[in-house]
Amino acid sequence: MRSASGLNFANKGLIFANNQYCLSGIFVLSNFKTKKMEITNNTILITGGSSGIGLQFATQLINLGNTVIITGRNQAKLDEIKKQLPKVHIFKSDVSDPLAIIELFKKVTMQFSTLNILINNAGEMRNLNLLDTSITVENVNREIAINLSGPVWMVQQFLPHLLKQKTAAIVNVTSALAYVPFALSPVYSATKSGLHAYTQGLRIRLKKTSIKVFELLAPLTNTPLGDKFAGDFDSKMMMEPDKVVAIAIKGLMKDKFEILPGMSIMLKLISRIAPKFILKQMGKVAEKSWANEKL
């Protein structure tokens, strides 16, 4: 397998077995709960559910017999999704706004008292040039508010309700960039690393409760989130969102608390075995992009 810069990982001795464990995209953690997660007859809230991974979660979970609620900032897009998925329930809300989260909580729990699964999927990834002095502090903070503060606020707001349920789950969607920062999107990388750490701590804190805590560390995925970086990576490296979510759902059903589809598991392993090497390769991708900008 080749990196984005064309260097063959195998030449560095990083050869991984092409076995079922790797292909499944599921990294096994100890299971603190004895009963496996049921992925049917749940009431599920998905933030950022109007496109990409969030939309695929909504589609596949509805097909499995769940009641699904999605949120998004764009009412027109939500209305369009409602036409495509008549069974989905829509709420306009912005996870970067704590007051909007409080209002969302009131509306959702009033209408759906059986809500028992929260999927924190909403995210924003930008090609951010830190040398651009016109970027304001507020602008830089936007990804932090959406990708990190938002999920933390959502968990804090919905946790008392979830604790009342017989079975419940929190699913935080992070990224393989939690392991290896990407210089073209430094704030995004930092937020996903932060959310990864938060999710691990949350899992430990809730292990004696009815709530299971999962993390989907998404690989490079063919979604609107990554459109800005289409020219920086080989399109063959991208997974389709329906495949990412299919692997995620299998992981939930098997109580695999860290789910790593596609390239994610390899990035995790390389970041442990050769951290300087993989950081250098990711840096080359960014440097090539910056060089092209000057042309």
Q: What positions carry a catalytic annotation?
A: 188
- Which of 74, 76, 49 shows the shortest CA–CA distance to 60? 49
- Rounded to an integer, what distance in angstroms lies between the CA atom of residue 192 and that of residue 190? 6
Q: Which residue has the tokens 């709960």?
A: 33
Q: Give the phi and the psi of residue 166 in degrees, each rounded to 5.
A: -65, -45
Residue pair 225/232 in contact by the 8 Å Cβ criterion = no
Specify the DSSP class assigned to residue 225.
G
Three-state SS at 180:
coil
Distance between CA atoms of residues 146 and 121, nearest Å = 10
DSSP letter (8 states) at residue 114: T
The amino acid at 164: K
261: which 2 tokens?
Answer: 């589809």
